[in-house]
Amino acid sequence: MRPVVEASLPSPRTRLLEAAEARFRRFGFKRTTIDDITADAGTGKGSLYLHFDSKQSIYLAVVEASLEVFLQKAGAALHGAGGVPQRLRRLVEVTAEHYGSDELLHASLFGGDEFVDGEVSRRAATLQRSRIRELLLETLRAGQREGSVRASIDAEAAASVLFEIGWAVVRAELEGESDLPLDVALHNLNEIVGLGLLVRAGPSGEQSS
């Protein structure tokens, strides 16, 4: 007879993360308790505190795991074909789509009093902003190496500015505050980033649009 191979159970940490994510998505950070998480995970409090030092800690771990899913999509958008403006446009599109469907990430970045308190929301937002700015910086530096982005630009400062502009567009779309359809806003953002606002003079002194 062949030996019976028992299916390996997920580790306690994995079970805790899965239980916490399900609870946070359904009830939010404020209404979820440590007892809820450990009961759903089938572990004791001691097991939870072996891996996480607080409810905030496990919430941030859940946010980071969810963020990784988004970052894979964002990385594909930024490393795809086309120039830097086209790739940045795709990033904004991917961001609006993903955050529009992921309430946990949306609340942790933009705030949501019924889901998460102010301090943990700020910590989660800082984590997300930092990771996305890193992607933007990497894209700009790649553009400088290939000659599509001016070498004189401070890539770190530009990444921060582009992040704030892009997130303003995304937030307005997600909150229903924009007077422009997303495709129109993105077209104009693409034009501004790629071509600038000022009319440039050609070699003969003629202005080019």
Q: pLDDT tens digits, residue range 100-147? A: 888 888 777 766 555 666 677 777 778 878 888 998 899 889 888 988
Give the distance from CA 128 to its chain's centroid: 5
Report yes or no on whether pTM surpasses 0.75.
no
Question: CA-to-CA distance for 209 and 207, rounded, in angstroms?
Answer: 7
Cα–Cα distance, 154 to 203 (Å, whole number): 27
Two structure tokens written together for 151: 């070498």
Residue type, 54: S
Mean pLDDT, range 5-10, rounded to an integer:
62
Tell me the pLDDT band of 5, cut-offs 50, 70 and 90: very low
Straight-line distance from the first to the last Cα atom of the chain, in angstroms, rounded to the nearest whole number? 79
Q: What is the pLDDT of residues 33-81, one digit of tens each?
A: 999 999 999 999 999 999 999 999 999 899 888 888 888 998 898 888 8
Q: What is the pLDDT of residue 109?
A: 72
Which residues 6+ apart lie within 8 Å of 209 measured at CB? Answer: 199
Give the count of beta carbons closer than 10 Å to the beta carbon of residue 59. 27
Q: How far apart are CA 208 and CA 199, in angstroms?
A: 6
Which of the 8 DSSP states describes residue 6?
Answer: P
Fold of 10-53: Arc Repressor Mutant, subunit A (1.10.10)
What pLDDT, on a 0 to 100 scale, did the predictor assign at position 160?
92
Domain boundary assignment for the chain:
10-53, 56-196
Q: Among the CATH numbers 2.60.40.1180, 1.10.287.3510, 1.10.357.10, 1.10.150.120, which is that of 56-196?
A: 1.10.357.10
